[in-house]
Amino acid sequence: MADNEHVGAAAAEAEAVELSYVQYEGAQEEKYLPSIRQLIGKDLSEPYSIYVYRYFLYQWGDLCFMTLDKDSNLIGVIISKLEPHRSGTYRGYIAMLAVQESFRGKGIASKLVSMAIDAMAARDADEVVLETEITNTASLKLYERLGFLRSKKLHRYYLNGNAAYRLILYLKEGTALKRPDGAHMHDMGFGVPDMQRVDEASMIP
């Protein structure tokens, strides 16, 4: 039994080694954009046209990363952007994240998110935000482990009628305090009595 477990662990380690993480490049569109659309379309709540993908990939390809297997097949992808926000901050945004179901639970999503965060931090981002369905506990726990906090609940945010939580990660000390008009007070939970860590039981509607 122990030998079988050792073989299984070795196989899993070998499989992980064979995965590669690469930055998206515009020259790869013909090869990877159809796979990106298919992968994300299976897992996310909202259907996106090809123009939405191109909007992100053309402008912020350096903030988008892919996980590939040894045959260069797409296993996972994260798509992000970075822009000045009306709050006065330089805000990163994680728009899409998906991993093939058979490869989940191997840390791929965490790696992709960390790469995107690092890339945005290198470009002087103050914060990173995203939205995820309130029923997606796996996603909520993933982002909480990486330091994200719940900012607010968005009712009927998705086309399917489901609500979302907006999550935020502050990359610089004091970022929340410099946001105007009390925006940081909302994000930090002042006046929002249910503001807690994203995986706590009290968040279940």
Number of separate helices (H) and strands (E) present in the chain: 6, 7
Residues with Cβ < 8 Å from 68, sequence gap 6 or more?
19, 20, 21, 22, 74, 75
Tens-binned pLDDT, residue by residue, of the chain (205 aa): 445 554 444 445 445 559 999 999 999 999 999 999 999 988 655 668 899 999 999 999 999 999 999 999 999 999 999 999 988 899 999 999 999 999 999 999 999 999 999 999 999 999 999 999 999 999 999 999 999 999 999 998 887 788 999 999 999 986 665 554 444 433 433 222 222 222 222 222 2
pTM: 0.77
Q: Which domains does the chain have, with CATH numbers?
A: 19-203 (3.40.630.30)
